[in-house]
Amino acid sequence: MPEVTGGASPAAPGACRRIRLPRTTAAVPIARALVRDALGAGDTAVADRPDRDTAELLTAELVANAVEHTSGDGPIELVVELLAAPDGCQIEVHDPDPARPGRLVCPDPEAEVDPWQEHGRGLLLVRALSADCGHRPTADGKAVWFTLPRVPAQRSPRRA
């Protein structure tokens, strides 16, 4: 069973949650659920938070990449940190493989893309939809991360 640490209120800036995940495809829905929970899923009273759908999508991409494309033994770790305003959140996926991830940069516009290819677009999504992203070495491998800004709360339309 995954172990969750941290536990400040999901909407509190500075709150940080960490979870160790198995290096199996089962890690993807677990990671999505943790992100949804950490960002206050279903809590309509929380305003000015990062977009949960985008956070879940990008998290799923990073966790799936860690499961499918990294070597080494041991679990992967998901870290979700809520940042103080005006920032939103930073999400990291740690894995035991020190090798750099694939391309986190925009692809060459001259390169030909195969529209039927099923792989190779996950990191492009992370780059395109996040405010910032990157990777860094850790004592046990590497961390691949992205940040999302807060989305301003929507005003309720006035009723006449």
Q: What is the mean pLDDT of each run of 10 residues along the chain (160 residues)?
A: 51 80 94 92 61 95 93 89 84 93 61 60 86 94 94 64
Burial of 136 (0-12, 13-18, 19+ CB in 10 A): exposed
Domain 14-102+121-149 has CATH 3.30.565.10: yes
Handedness of CA 41, 74, 125, 80 (dihedral sign): positive
Cβ within 8 Å of residue 16, ≥6 positions away? 6, 8, 79, 80, 81, 82
- Measured CA to CA, the distance from residue 65 to residue 67 in angstroms comes to 5
Say if pTM beats, i.e. exceeds, 0.85.
no
| Token duo for residue 2 | 């995954």
Q: What pLDDT score does 47 carry?
A: 58
